[in-house]
Amino acid sequence: MTLILTTRNDAVKILAHHPIVWFARRILSGVVVVWAAATFAFVVQCVLPGDRAQIIINVTSGNVGPASSAELAAINAKYGFDQPLAVQYGKYILQILHGDLGESYQQHRPVAGIIAEQIGPTIILAIAALLIAWIIAILTTLFIAGRDNIWSKLLNDTQVFLATVPPYWLATILLVVFAVKLRIFPVIGGNSPIGLVLPTLALALELSGFFGQVVQNEFTRVLEQPFVASARARGMSDFGVRLRHVLRHAALPGITLSGWALGKLLSGAILIEVVFARQGLGGVLVAATSSRDVPIVSGAVLISAGLFVVASVIVDLTYRVVDPRIKLT
């Protein structure tokens, strides 16, 4: 009996780590995240102050005065606001399942199309910032971790400072210094490669300080492990040991946080795009928020949730590639 139970337990453990089972679990968790975001967006629409029909009429007509009862009744019937909330919620979820995020009150266009046109530059900016943040964090960690000299202390203090600097404040400083004063970069860079430099740095520098501190702490701990002393005893240089053996293990905590970081960068990119007048979701969301164009804001929330799910899956796979000993969970 004990042998049978042991065999069953081993089989369950093997099955739990099977790629297909892992993928199914990730899909299920992703669906839950997106459903929660959709529910949140629906609730926000319902509890916003003011009559939803009146808001739509004001946005579409540009008038701020009260609408007539007939106009309100027509809008309520068109959008289903006169139906029970449970029915409205069910139709809203059904629309999302069909890829329909609604229609913009102001632009009278499908929200999915509006977001699809603008989200590309925002994703590019966020990914570029994530890569630059990692490059800066890795380079500084390789040279300062486990060392006690003036340069190490200076770089460490710089990392701590950068980790506390708000990106929008840093973006303003970079814009004034390098675009307005020195004129090295354009004030309004559009979507050109050179126009991507300052926005990327504004996002990446803060994150590089955070990643640097996380990776450096783990790096210092790994340096004390026996396999590091063994590698040095075989004649490998200090830099070689750090790069080939220590970095792979020390980077794991930072990789774990990369999914969260990408979500943070996407939200940060929206603010940075406004500062640098870049094309992207930033300008669209600012306009939608100021005009109370709720479908666009709700659509952006849903898309952000979906991107977070995708980023989490990529991070899990990267974690597995960096350290094959770790099983998919």
Tokens of 187: 């004030």
- What integer pLDDT is reported at residue 327 of this predicted model? 56
Buried/exposed code over 229-242 (b: 16+ C-beta within 10 A; e: otherwise): eebeeeebeeeebb
Buried b (16+ CB within 10 A) or exposed e, 296-311: bbbbbbbbbbebbbeb
Which amino acid, one-letter code, is at 216?
A: Q
Asked if residue 111 lies in contact with residue 101, where contact means CB atoms within 8 angstroms, the answer is: yes
Nearest by Cα to 298 from 6, 56, 34: 34
**Token pair in block for residue 275:** 């500062």
Task: Give how far the C-alpha of residue 295 lies from the chain's centroid of Cα atoms, to the nearest Å.
Answer: 21
* Structure-block tokens of residue 240: 């070689």
Pairwise CA distance, residues 271 & 263, whole Å: 13
Q: What end-to-end distance do the CA atoms of the chain give, in Å?
A: 29
SS3 assignment, position 124: helix
Cα–Cα distance, 302 to 30 (Å, whole number): 12
Rounded to the nearest 5 degrees, what angle is found at the Cα of 312, between the Cα atoms of 328 and 281?
Answer: 165
Closest CA to 301 of 153, 163, 101: 101
Measure Cα distances from 238 to 150, 213, 229, 242, 243 in Å.
19, 21, 10, 6, 9
Residue 246 · residue 219 · CB < 8 Å: yes
Separation of alpha carbons 294 and 312, rounded Å: 27
- As a whole number of Å, the CA-based R_g of the chain is 25
pTM for the full predicted model: 0.81
Q: Which of 320, 307, 309 is nearest to 252 (CA)?
A: 320
Residue 108 in tokens: 């009278």
Q: Which residues pair with 103 in a beta bridge?
A: 110
* C-alpha separations of 67 from 54, 62, 80 in Å: 7, 12, 18
How far out from the chain centre does Cα 14 lie? 32
Which residues, at least 6 apart from 285, have a Cβ–Cβ distance to it below 8 Å? 270, 296, 297, 300
**Residues 63-109 pLDDT 10s:** 767 778 888 888 888 888 888 889 999 999 999 988 888 888 888 88
**What is the rounded (10 degree) CA torsion for 130, 136, 139, 145?**
-100
pLDDT score at 128: 93
Alpha helix (H) residue ranges in 103-244: 111-144, 150-163, 167-174, 197-222, 226-233, 238-241
- Please give the structure tokens belonging to residue 54: 């009146």
Spans of the chain below 70 pLDDT: 1-18, 62, 64, 189-190, 322-329
pLDDT of residue 7: 54
Tell me the per-residue pLDDT of 272-310, one tens digit each, with 9 for 90 and over.
Answer: 988 888 888 888 888 888 778 888 989 988 988 888 888
Domains and CATH numbers, the chain: 2-97 (no CATH), 111-322 (1.10.3720.10)
